[in-house]
Amino acid sequence: MTKEELVLEAINAQKLSYSPYSKFKVGAALLAKSGKVYLGANIENASYGLTMCAERNAIYNAYCNGVNFDEIVALAIVAQGESPVSPCGACRQVMNELLPKNTKIFLANLNNDIIETTVNELLPYSFNNECLDI
Ligand code: THU
């Protein structure tokens, strides 16, 4: 699957967004080695802090469907905007723990702008499970 195809999947996931408060629709699509794609969209709440971001929903969706860490190949995230969407800090922390280091991460907007990045580029010098080894 090409990065453009995975971004198209994420654009489809955007339609699932429940975002009456921000009106900012985000979609995400995680590609597994099997070729299967796991979608996520941002789901908001009147108690704003309970909102769950699209990319975390896609990652959790994959895990809940039995995808193993080593089977994750790529993650595309898309939102409207002049530049490709920038994942929030909480999502970067979750990506750091639940995605392999070599996962291709595609950040996109609706104008075909796609940035390819990595977990490490998004969160250098991270706090992770190795830091707990005291
Ligand atoms: N949001 C995401 O789902 N992913 C991102 O990468 C950026 C932000 C959502 C959270 C909230 O529903 C809305 O976008 C505005 O912050």
Residue pLDDT, tens place only, 2-44? 999 999 999 999 999 999 999 999 999 999 999 999 999 999 9
pLDDT band at 133 (very low <50, low <70, confident <90, very high): confident
Contact predicate 19/25, CB 8 Å: yes
Q: CB neighbours of 16 closer than 8 A, spacing ≥ 6?
A: 27, 39, 41
Could you tell me the distance, in angstroms and rounded to a whole number, from the CA of residue 18 to the centre of ligand 1?
Answer: 11
CA of 58 to the centre of ligand 1 (A): 13
Structure tokens that stand for 27 in this block:
């979609």
55 is a catalytic site residue: yes
45 lines ligand 1 (CB under 6 A): no
List pLDDT tens digits, range 97-111: 999 999 999 999 999
More confident residue, 127 or 134: 127
Domains of the chain: 3-131 (3.40.140.10)
User: What does the pLDDT look like over 39-75, one tens digit per residue?
Assistant: 999 999 999 999 999 999 999 999 999 999 999 999 9
- Catalytic-role residue among 44, 55, 71, 116: 55
Q: Is the pLDDT of residue 134 over 70?
A: no
Q: Give me the sign of the Cα torsion angle 54, 58, 61, 63.
A: negative
